[in-house]
A and B are shown apart, each in its own frame.
Chain A
C-alpha cells in the first residue's frame, strides 16, 4: 500500500499547471464539470481554443472569474440578481439535488420533514424511514458548493460552517461529513452502507448506471426524473449557469457555440434538462 501511495504522490508532484492564451479556463461546480469535459474534445476539433476544466465548487469558480484566474465559472445554483447584473451569464440546464443512500438501505421515499430530521440530527431512530441507523453517516457539502446552497434553500437549514448566521438559524448537524465534489459524495455513499447524501441528480443517475451501489430516494413521493424536474414537481432543483466577466472577449466564440446548441446533446446525455433559449 505504501509503495502505491508513494508513486501516486510522486506523480502528482511532477504535474505542472498548464496556462496559455488559447486556453479557456473553467472552474467551479463539479456538477457542470462533466458537461464541459464531454464537449472539450469535439469543441477543440473545430475551434482553435482549448478547454481547461477544474472543479473546486461554484463559489471557488466565481472567485476565480472575479480575479481573472478562470475565464468561465461553472455555477450549479440559481444566480442572485446582483450576480446577474455584475457578470455575463448563461443558464445552460436545470439540475436537481438528489438525496441518495446506500443501496442496502431499504429507503424508498423521504418526506421533507424526515430529510430535515436526518440533517439536523433530530432523527436518530429511523425505523419509520426504513433505514438502519447503527452506522448512519449524514453527508453534507462544503459551503462553497452550489448543491449545499440549493439544499439549504429547500430545507431551511444552514451549514454550521457559514459565517454571520442569525442566532435562531437551524443548522445541519455538526458531525455531518462535508463532501467536496459529486464524485466525493458518490464514492462515500457507495462505499459506506450507512451514508445518506445530497448530490447532483444527473451525476447520481450516471454513477448508478455504472453499477455503484447507490439509490436515489423519492422526496414527498416524487422521483427526480427529467419530467418532474422540468415541470417543477420535484422540489429540490437549481439552474446550471456559466458565468464570465463581461469584458472577457475570449469566451464569446465559445458562448456563441453554446447558444447555437453545441452542447445540448451532451447536456441531455449526462441527465440534465436543457433550458429553452
Chain B
C-alpha cells in the first residue's frame, strides 16, 4: 500500500504543479500584458483628453494673461508626461515619436503664450496656427495608439482564451486520468482487495472462533457481549442469541453456591488497567437449561488495541464436568488403594505395615505429649490345632470374628487395632495408663470368650480364647517402639506361660 501511495501522489503532484505553473503563467501574462495594457490603453485614452484640455487651458490663460492660470497647463503637461512615460515604461508601444510630437506641440503652444505676453501678436498668431497643426498631428498619433491598444486587447483576449482552453483541457485530462485510471488502479482496486482480504480474514477468524470447542465470549467496555461462540449452546443449553438478548444470563446460570466466588472474581479480574498477559481463572458450576449441573473453568484477560486502548474482556469457558468426575473417581480409587495398602484383607483390621508406621508416630506423639501409650500384643490360643481340627476356612472365620470383637472393644478413633501376622494381633492405645489398658484388654478377652466358638483342640477351654501381653508407659529415650514390642511380646509369652486366656502387664 505504501508503494501504491507514492505512485499515486507523485503524478498527482506533478500534474498539480503543472496546473499551478500554468495558472501562474496566466497570472503573469495578465499582470504584465492585459492589466497593464488596459491601464496603458486607459492612459492613452485619457492622454487625448488631457492634451485637448491642456491646450484649452493654456489658450484661456493666455487670453486672460494670467500667469497663475498657466499652472493648470503645467500640471496637465506633467500628467501627460507621466502618462507617456508609463506607456513607454511598459514597453507596449514605441512612444518616442509620441513624445516628440507632444513636446513640439507643447513647445509651440508655450511659444505662442510667450509671444502673446510680449505683445508680439503676429508671431503669436503664427505660432497658434502651428499649434493647430501639431495638435492635429498628435491627434492622429493618439488615434493610432488607441487602435494599437484595441488590437492588442483582442490579441490578449484571444491568447487568454487559448490558455483557458488549454488549462481546462489539462484539468479535464487530470480529472479523467485520476478518475478513470490512477485512482481506480492505485486506490480503489487496492482498497477492494484489502476489503476482500479483510472480509476473508474476518470470515476465517469467525470460523476459527465459531469452531472453538470452548465457550468463548468477548465483553465490551460497557459490559455488553461483543461476541459469543456457538459452542455455548453445547455447554449451557442456551443459544448465543439468548445471551445476546439477555446478557445477564451469563450470571444467572451460575450455581447459587458459586455466586460469591464469581462476584469476587469479577470485582478483581474484569477491570481495565490490568496487564494483558495477566489471565485470571476461576471455577464454578453452571446450571444448564435442562437443569443439569456442570463444572466450568473460566479464564479471562483484558484486551487492548495496539495503541493501548482498553477493549474489554475476552473469556474462555471450558466444560470440565467430565474432568471433575474423573478426578473424583481417581480420588476414590486412591483412597481405596490407601485402604488396601493399610488393611488386612481377612480381618479388615490394619495390617502390620500400617501398624509399624503408626507405632513410630504414636510413640513420638506420646513422648511429646507425655501421655502413657499402651501396646497390647495378643494371639489366639492353640490356633494351629484349631486349623488342624476345623480346617483353614473355619480358622479364617475365627480370625474374622476375633478381629470384630477387638475392633468393637477398642473402638476409639485413635485406637489402632492391627493383625500382626497369623493369629497374632497388636493394639495401640493412646493416652491409656497400665490400669486402664488392662481393664480394656480384660474386657476384650472376656468378649472373645463370650463368642463361645468351639475349639476342641484347646487345652485351656472348649472354646476359643486369647492370651494378652500389655505394656503401658510414657515413652522415653529408652522405651521406643521396639522396646514396647519386645516388652509386650514378653508379657504375652508370660501370659501363655501362665496358662493362656489371661493378661500379663509388664513395665516398659
Contact = CB atoms under 8 A, between A and B. Distances in A.
B60 interface: yes
A191 B117 contact: no
A187 B63 contact: no
Contact of B74 (A2, A30, A54, A212): A212
Nearest to A54: B119
Given A4-B60, A5-B59, A191 B131 contact: no
A9 B60 CA distance: 12
Interface string B96-126: 0001000100110011011111111100110
Given A1-B52, A4-B60, A8-B59, A188 B106 contact: yes
Given A1-B135, A8-B128, A188-B107, A210 B118 contact: no
Interface in B61-107: 62-63, 67-68, 70-71, 73-74, 77-78, 81, 85, 99, 103, 106-107
Interface in B117-151: 117-121, 124-125, 128-129, 131-132, 135
Q: Which of A15, A55, A191 has the most CB of B within 10 A?
A: A191
B56 interface: yes
A66 interface: no
Contacts of A210: 67-68, 71
A70 to B, nearest CB: 12
A211 interface: yes
Interface string A36-58: 00000000000000000111100
Nearest to A212: B74
Contacts of A4: 55-56, 59-60
Interface in A207-221: 207, 210-213
A201 interface: no
Contacts of B110: 184, 187-188, 191
A11 B99 CA distance: 31
Contact of A191 (B74, B119, B129): B74
A169 B220 CA distance: 113
A193 interface: yes
Contacts of B124: 12
A55 B59 contact: no
Contacts of B68: 210
Given A1-B52, A183-B113, A30 B118 contact: yes
A8 B106 contact: no
A164 B60 CA distance: 42
What is the size category of the interface that chain A forms with chain B?
A: 35 or more
Given A15-B121, A183-B117, A212-B71, A5 B128 contact: yes
Interface stretch (A114-122, A153-161, A174-182): A174-182
A184 B67 contact: no
A56 B59 contact: no
Contacts of B77: 190-192
A12 B107 contact: no
A191 B106 contact: yes
What is the size category of the interface that chain B forms with chain A?
A: 35 or more
A8 B135 contact: no
A179 B62 CA distance: 17
Contact of A54 (B106, B120, B135): B120
B106 to A, nearest CB: 6
Given A184-B110, A187-B73, A192-B103, A5 B55 contact: yes
A236 B29 CA distance: 54
Contact of B118 (A5, A54, A137): A54
A33 B125 contact: no
Given A5-B132, A56-B120, A191 B56 contact: no
Contacts of B118: 30, 33, 54-56, 180-181
A9 B128 CA distance: 7
A237 to B, nearest CB: 23
A188 B104 CA distance: 11
Contacts of B135: 1, 5
Contact of A135 (B60, B99, B114, B121): B99
A31 to B, nearest CB: 12
A184 B113 contact: yes
A5 B125 contact: no
Nearest to B120: A56
Interface in B144-180: none
Nearest to B127: A180
A184 B56 contact: no
Contact of B113 (A5, A9, A56, A187): A187
A11 B111 contact: no
Given A5-B59, A180-B118, A183-B117, A190 B74 contact: yes
B117 A13 contact: no
Given A5-B55, A187-B114, A213-B78, 20 more contacts: A1-B52, A2-B132, A4-B55, A5-B59, A7-B59, A8-B59, A12-B121, A12-B125, A13-B125, A33-B118, A53-B119, A55-B120, A135-B81, A180-B115, A184-B110, A187-B70, A187-B110, A191-B73, A192-B106, A212-B74
24 contacts: A4-B55, A5-B131, A5-B135, A8-B62, A8-B63, A12-B124, A30-B118, A54-B119, A56-B118, A180-B114, A183-B70, A183-B114, A187-B73, A187-B110, A187-B113, A188-B107, A190-B77, A190-B78, A191-B77, A193-B81, A207-B67, A210-B71, A211-B71, A212-B74
Pairs of residues from A and B, 4 with the lowest C-beta to C-beta distance, nearest first: A55-B118, A191-B77, A184-B114, A54-B119
Interface of A: 1-2, 4-5, 7-9, 11-13, 15, 30, 33, 53-56, 135, 137, 177, 179-181, 183-184, 187-188, 190-193, 207, 210-213
